[in-house]
Structure 1
Amino acid sequence: MKKRISLIMISLLMGLLGFAGGISAQTVTYDPSLAHKDGAMAYEHMNYLAYEIGPRIAATENERKAEQYIKGQFERMGLKTEVQPFQYTRRGTTYSSSNVIAYKPGKSSKQVIVGAHYDSVSVGRGVDDNASGVGVMLEVAEVLKKINTPYSIVFIAFGAEEVGLQGSNYYAKNMTQAKIANTVGMINLDSLAVGDNMYVYGSAGEAGFIRDQALEIAKKKKLNVGTNPGLNPAYPEGTTGDWSDHAPFKRLGIPYGYLEATNWEIGDLDGYTQTVKHGGVWHTPNDTLEFIEREYPGRIHEHLSTFSTLLTDLLKFMNKTSTSK
């Protein structure tokens, strides 16, 4: 309760100060001890995005507030950070959005991209889709900021995913051939909080090394994470569809990994029906903390903790020696 009150006070102070010059804001700080309990920092980020900012519809002021919040968090960690603005056109109207990019050097100059979209739809609060993914990404960036990881890491918060993967498409389109060749893989985080089961997917064949290594980590650490069982022939075992921010990188030939919580064993067996009890929660008024915590007590904390642990270890120990581009 004290933490919640402090966040409200920070939010009120920001409101009194105003977003000077438009949408710039003071950096929100957190107790460093939160980073030592898997999922705790992720929860605070998720809560801030969903409740202190609210729905983050693409190309709106709230999306820009979220952009500045994420930028401030990466900068607070000491990571080299930039905002990549872009425009997109829908039904004859041009809109503006942006990606927030932070760079963490590693032992190798070869890089892994870790991405999560920060926009949401207009209904609900976008807790699951996708404040949860951004929360885990920010927590893992905090945990790893001083760890010498095998590869350099590019953390990207993508804008305007809900209107056609605009942010990830823009970033991928502007990668040079040298940068593509230098990218070991891309890990996408989308909708982690509410689905019945936790999954990791990956590219087909040998390019699926990210998924395979994640599953090995899950087995060793006894994390309750599996993969798509392949009940639907349209989506072979271990893979998923091209409906999230991994897809533009997959088209470039970059191996992908993808963390998600849903249920591949119900509905049309396509991973879209998240829960037995309530069906889909994403893109509905039920995508709120109140609903999820009431209907699925403890699930959010379990999921954020599990995915944070898995992603942290994956980035700490990733090894691509068995695969070549």
Structure 2
Amino acid sequence: MLTLLRQGTLAALLICGVSLTASAASMKTGSIAEQQLRHIATYFPGRMAGSPADMLTADYLQQQLTQLGYHSDQRRFSTRYAYQHQNGEQTWRTVNATSVIAAREGKVPQQIVIMAHSDSWTPHNDTETQHNLGGLTNQGVDDNASGLGVMLELAQRLSKQPLHYSLRFVALSGEEIGHRGSEDYLSRMTPAEKHNTLLVINLDSLVIGGQLTFISGSKTPQAVARQTRDRAITLARHYGIRATTQVTSDENPFDHAGLPLLSVRASDAPSGRLSRSMALHFPPDLRHQAQRDNLAYIDRWLPGRITRRTHDAVTILLPLIHELANP
């Protein structure tokens, strides 16, 4: 088993934030995640690492998690990424990113980490900038307000449930410039914390792909993969939800570090072929484009998808995490 601008503007934004006073039990599964997704996309567009929206998003997430009773802190770190110009010149750009970490202690020190990246796409070259990939107007609905919304609903619904193992909810900035947030988080973990991390669940881009996909890390033991990835597929079938698995990879820094990993994302058919409609409206090379990854566009071309996908993700993950946290 799994043995400012800031204070004045932020106050105004939090007034119109998602209310967490209502009982989660009285709300339809996925509705909290959808509300949070839409709120984050609407009020915090352009969440590029180190931007004002990045900092405001961190403040908002910390406020939400603290309100739920979690011990929540912000972690600021300085990093840089390479930017390629059309003239062939490459420059390094320095950013000060802000991640959020919230914790609820269980009966033992072993922990399960539930993670979603909070930053939206940062253009890496002049071509991406000219094609409006990322940027200040990008709502980042799929990538990754969807992961943040689902994470916040899970945090709310698990905030009062009994825990044997501890839970960590982590919103990492700097992921869209080369997994800098993951690298910073791992660099600050002690050997004991790494040893006590039973599982990392990474929530990323849950909307646009045709079905939810559960992927174990390449270094995740098969016994853990059966309890996590395979159990998620069993739960999906039980609830009549389309879900699949994919081949593992070690691209995620947590996987590369040897921590058990379950990645959750939306993907298309295992063959990699997109339907004609999806290929037309959501071409892979423009998946970060501000004109496409926004509420109006997704609601138009994928009507009902946000509601259905947030419902499906929480429906599967909530009982899975509850089982894992209480063996």
Query: What is the Cα deviation at residue 84 of structure 1?
Result: 1.1
Percent of residue pairs identical: 30
Aligned to 2:239: 221
Write out per-residue CA displacement over residues 252-283 of structure 1, whole angstroms, 9 at most, x where no aligned residue: 2111001101214355x7x9x99445333631
Q: TM-score, normalised by structure 2?
A: 0.81
Query: Corresponding residue for 1:19?
Result: 6
The answer on 1:177 being equivalent to 2:164 is no
Q: How does 1:79-118 map to 2 (within 5 A)?
A: 79-90=70-81, 91-118=91-118
Residue matched to 1:151 = 165
Give the Å deviation of 1:62: 0.6
Q: What residue number does 1:210 align with?
A: 228
Distance in 2 between residues matched to 1:26 and 1:44, nearest whole Å = 14
Question: Secondary structure of 2:109's match?
Answer: strand
Letter paired with 1:102 = A
1:256-312: CA deviations, max 9, x gaps?
001101214355x7x9x9944533363122001111111111111111001011111
The 1:254–1:296 alpha-carbon spacing in structure 2 relative to 1, beyond 3 Å, is: same
**Gaps (5+ residues) in structure 1?**
1-16, 229-235
Write the letter of the residue equivalent to 2:104. Answer: K
More displaced stretch, 182-191 vs 208-217: 208-217
* Structure 2: runs of 5+ lacking an equivalent: 82-90, 122-133
Following TM superposition, by how much is the alpha carbon of 1:220 offset from its aligned partner in structure 2, in angstroms? 2.6
CA deviations over 1:221-256 (Å, ceiling 9, x no partner): 33222212xxxxxxx3xx2461xxxx1211221110
Contact residue 18 and residue 39 of structure 2 kept, 8 A: no
User: Quick one: higher RCO (CA 8 Å, sep 6+), 1 or 2?
Assistant: 2
Q: 1:98 to 1:319 in 2, by over 3 A?
A: closer
User: In the alignment, is the contact (CA less than 8 A) between 2:98 and 2:172 conserved in 1?
Assistant: yes
Alpha-carbon distance in structure 2 between the residues aligned to 1:286 and 1:93: 26
* Superposition CA RMSD, Å: 2.6
Cα distance in 2 between the residues matched to 1:92 and 1:260: 30
Map 1:1-325; keep pairs closer than 5 Å.
19-20=6-7, 26=14, 28-30=17-19, 32-33=22-23, 36-90=27-81, 91-121=91-121, 122-123=134-135, 124-204=138-218, 205-208=222-225, 209-228=227-246, 236=247, 239-240=248-249, 242=251, 247-267=252-272, 275-278=278-281, 279-280=283-284, 282-284=287-289, 285-318=291-324
The 8 Å contact of residues 164 and 326 in structure 2, kept in 1 or not, is answered as no
SS at 1:226 equivalent: strand
The number of aligned residues is 289
**Given that residues 184 and 320 in structure 1 are in contact (C-alpha distance below 8 angstroms), is that contact kept between their aligned partners in structure 2?**
no
